[in-house]
Amino acid sequence: MKNIEILFEDDDLLVVNKPAGITVIPERFNTENKSIQAQLETHHGKLFVVHRLDRDTSGVLCFAKNEAAHKNISQQFENRQTQKFYKAFVKGRMEGQFGEIDSPILENPSKLGTMKIHPKGKESLTLFEVEEQFKHAALLLVEIKTGRTHQIRVHFASAEHPLLVDPVYAKTANFLLSAIKKKYKQTDEEERPIISRLTLHACKLVFMHPKTNTQITIEAEMPHDLQALLKVLRKYDS
């Protein structure tokens, strides 16, 4: 099993820090890459998926260990009784320190598996705070009040501040130092990207325990690749 950090565990719940590059559930047409659910079930038994993160998003991911816990927490997500926070590196300079994006999201019929802003879409609300502003990028603390597919990615792309790396909504597969460093010297070797995955991390999840009804707050630090990106931005783009 890939080294997966356990953030919380008891008889009802298993909460982990999901690494980027792995799906939550098994893929229909790709059986070679084991999902995080499959990997965890080999050690923890049957697990019920409560919510999902994109393959290339890291961070707090919650599973239920029994049907009662699964039903309880799923209802909390459905009734918007949970709080979901993310760290997001986006392109450009933000106007003001705080903001919100309130735009309905609909599945994109012209491109399977993607979403778009549309008046007939489902209500979608994203709140954000600028934690650090750089010349060409910003680090945001984002709270999603609704849980639409690709919500953060679609909302910030629509606001012309897409994720720094997002091959679908920003058309960028990686982030290069040459994009921000003045007088960057290109060697004969091909430039190695600073990061080549979604610049998005689920940093905190708040919910009520399904059995004790006490508030649970789970946090996950940014992984090394995003910390390395932050250091580069602070050094070359501040």
Tell me which DSSP letter residue 53 carries: -
How confident is the model at residue 3, as a pLDDT?
A: 80
pLDDT at 61 over 90: yes
**Active-site position among 54, 56, 188, 237:** 54
Arithmetic mean of pLDDT over the chain: 94
Mean pLDDT computed over 1-17: 91
**Quick one: average pLDDT of 153-175?**
97
Show me where the domains of the chain are located.
5-236
Percentage, residues of the chain above pLDDT 90? 87
Which pLDDT tens digit goes with each residue over 201-221?
999 999 999 999 999 999 999
pLDDT exceeds cutoff 90 at 57: yes
**How distant is the alpha carbon of residue 83 from its chain centre?**
14
Degrees to nearest 5, angle at CA 105 with 167 and 93: 55
User: Residue 199: pLDDT above 60?
Assistant: yes
| Side chain identity at residue 207, one-letter code | F
Is 54 labeled as catalytic in the residue annotation?
yes
Closest by CA position to 89, among listed 56, 133, 45: 133
**pLDDT, tens digit, 9 for 90 and up, residues 73-125:** 999 999 999 999 999 999 999 999 999 999 999 999 989 889 999 999 999 99
Residue 181 is predicted with a pLDDT of 82
Placement of tokens 């980027």 in the chain: 20
What is the C-alpha to C-alpha distance for residues 122 and 229, in angstroms, rounded to an integer? Answer: 33
> Is the predicted pLDDT of residue 49 greater than 70, yes or no?
yes
What pTM value is reported for the model?
0.94
- In CATH, the architecture of 5-236 is 2-Layer Sandwich (3.30)
**pLDDT over 80 (residue 184):** no
Exposure of 165 in the CB half-sphere (CA atoms within 13 A): 21
Q: For residue 51, give the nearest of 82, 21, 30 by alpha carbon.
A: 82
